[in-house]
């Protein structure tokens, strides 16, 4: 079982072209499912991000870019002030004593 059967089944059976040929349909499906199952989307977001904002986890992982891939997805954040602000915020939060595990 997978958290994202639509996307991962396409990878499993080598049908990534279906997503690339129909990105709007794929995006629309994601939005429709999010509207239909908002609690599941919220729980998934919490599970994926809790290490960034919950003091009980000992990792702070963030990236400035997108790794090399075959889908043509890329981003160069360069000297983005928003990204720099978040990096500084995460460094500050990471050092706060009250957020350290007991």
- The ranges assigned to domains in the chain are 1-36, 50-102
83 CB-contact burial (10 Å; exposed 0-12 / middle 13-18 / buried 19+): middle
Q: For residue 3, is pLDDT > 60?
A: no
Residue range 50-88, pLDDT digits in tens = 777 766 655 555 566 677 778 887 766 566 677 678 778
pTM recorded for the entire structure: 0.41
Mean pLDDT for 16-21 is 82
Mean pLDDT for 28-57 is 79
The per-residue pLDDT for 64 is: 60
**List of residues 6+ apart from 9 with CB closer than 8 A:** 2, 15
Q: Return the number of other C-beta atoms located less than 10 Å from residue 24's C-beta.
A: 7
């Amino acid at each position: 079982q997978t958290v994202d059967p639509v996307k991962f089944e396409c990878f499993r059976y080598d049908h990534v072209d279906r997503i690339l040929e129909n990105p709007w349909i794929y995006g629309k499906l994601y939005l429709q499912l999010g509207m239909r199952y908002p609690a599941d989307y919220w729980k998934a977001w919490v599970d994926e991000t809790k290490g960034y904002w919950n003091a009980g986890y000992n990792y702070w992982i963030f990236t400035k870019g997108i790794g090399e891939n075959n889908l043509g997805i890329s981003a160069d954040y360069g000297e983005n002030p928003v990204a720099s602000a978040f990096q500084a915020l995460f460094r500050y939060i990471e050092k706060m004593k009250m957020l350290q595990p007991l």
